[in-house]
Structure 1
Amino acid sequence: MVSTTSQAREVALSSRFPPIGRRGFGSPYTQENWNISNAGEYLNVANESVIVLVQIETREGVDNVKAIAEEDGIDGLFIGPYDLSISLGYPPPSPNPHYEVEKVIQRILRVAHEAGKKCAMYCTSGSQAAQRAAEGFDMISVTSDVGAMQAGLSAEFKAAMKA
């Protein structure tokens, strides 16, 4: 979770190699994994390819969202509605967030786009993801790994019970 511009700046700098960042080059993901034989080329490709999203999930983050979105090196904002709801004093979404939290979600989306950045959102179902896509979210999860396993197992158990 990122709540301040200084935290956002730290994330951005730690995500890219010098001269635009300060990420260490001794990464386990070497240039061979990118099918690049030259370390200098890997450095450029890696810096150009990384996408830095910061999670806005605290009241302080919401208060600072405009400045965070405008921070150099930040490519987008990510909203986790559960932590955001809880940090704002509302219960977790079940499945939809409290209307006051929804207003904050829409504000974060608007601020991201006004800053020319992407906005991502965690969703718990395909139908919820479709709704968020229609609202203009750029990146959306469809469910979690646990949610996908539960849905798959439930369908298989139902099929087995019919036998």
Structure 2
Amino acid sequence: MPALKINRAKKALREGKVAIGTMVTSVRSPQMVPMLAAAGWDFYILDAEHNQFGWETMTDFMTVSRYEEITSMVRVADPIYHLLARTLDVGAQGLICPRVETREQVEQIIQCTKYYPLGERGASVSSVHSGFRDVNPADYLEWANEETLIVIQPETKKSIDNIESLVSVKGLDAVFIGPYDLSKTLGIAGQTKHPLMVECFEKVIAACRKHGVAPGVHLQDMGQAKEWIVKGMRFLGLKTDARFLMESMTAAARELKAAPSM
């Protein structure tokens, strides 16, 4: 089914590899997409939870992404039907679902994002997500069910306590730990290297391995990210567009200002 672009990140996860990506929080130009692809990232996440990306901007990003070797993902503001299904309809290849704590939430997410017989997502076949091509509906819906990447974010102590139940739901592809919110609920806000956080990360990895789901996390430190890849994280997000830009620009400005002058 050539009309639907292969999901690069999901393919890597299926093959037991690591998929790496970053989060887009500030740059609203879809020119960001070919830059990220050229840089070698497997996926990017457009953050529609904490940032103001409208449907038009989102659609532009997803449309450009169809022509680049990178998986387009969106973190929705809330994992409810009209946001999940509509985001897929504008072309996202995957979804990040925040604040998931119960098995019932995961089951509902699958129902919202999968076509029959796996779920109840409404079918709109000829659109951005199918490249506006004339496809066989039955074949297309089956392909879309296979290629859509569904990821939940455990971000609280309760979600970690329930992690076995969460990752046992059929149709879930990966887990993407939200470390700052999680650390907050553990009483150690921002301390992502704290022993309690390490314990939570390890618990998620063990549960995911048991149920064939890819464990993942969003981190800001390169050294920490590499450490957790070695320990078993396979869906790894590093920093944001804003953080990469600020770190690079700040370092360059400091170096130039420190250079000797006549």
TM-score bin (small chain): 0.7 to 0.9
SS of equivalent to 1:52:
strand
- Helix, strand or coil at the partner of 2:215: strand
> By how many angstroms is 1:9 displaced?
0.5
User: Which string of whole-angstrom CA distances, capped at 9 and with x for unpartnered residues, describes residues 113-148 of structure 1?
Assistant: 111110111110222211111111011112222211
> Which protein has the bigger strand share?
2
Aligned with residue 113 of structure 1, among 209, 230, 233: 209
Note the 1:8-157 alignment, pairs <5 A: 8-26=106-124, 29-32=128-131, 36-40=133-137, 41-93=139-191, 96-157=192-253
2:257 equivalent to 1:158: no
CA distance in 2: counterparts of 1:158 and 1:59, whole angstroms:
40
- The normalised TM-score by structure 1 is 0.88
Secondary structure of the 2:199 match is helix
Give how far 1:22 is off: 1.4
Percentage identity across aligned positions?
23
Q: CA deviation at 1:85?
A: 0.7
SS at match of 1:143: strand
Q: Which runs of 5+ in 1 are unaligned?
A: none
Which SS does the other structure have where 1:79 is aligned?
coil
Q: Across the two proteins, how many residue pairs are aligned to each other? A: 159
SS across alignment from 2:216: strand
Output the CA distance in 2 between the equivalents of 1:30 and 1:140. Answer: 25
**RMSD, matched Cα:** 1.9
Partner Cα distance (2:173, 2:182) in 1: 20
| Conservation of the 8 A alpha-carbon contact between 1:80 and 1:121 | yes
What SS does the aligned partner of 2:238 have?
Answer: coil
CA distance in 2, matches of 1:76, 1:141: 12
- Please identify runs of 4+ aligned residues in structure 1 that moved more than 3 A: none
What secondary structure does 2:118 align onto?
coil
Structure 1 or 2: more helix by fraction: 1
Asked whether the equivalents of residues 121 and 141 of structure 1 are also in contact (C-alpha less than 8 Å), the reply is yes
Deviations 1:53-112 (A, max 9, x none): 11111122112110111111112221111111111222212xx43211211111111111
Distance 2:122 2:210 in 1: 32
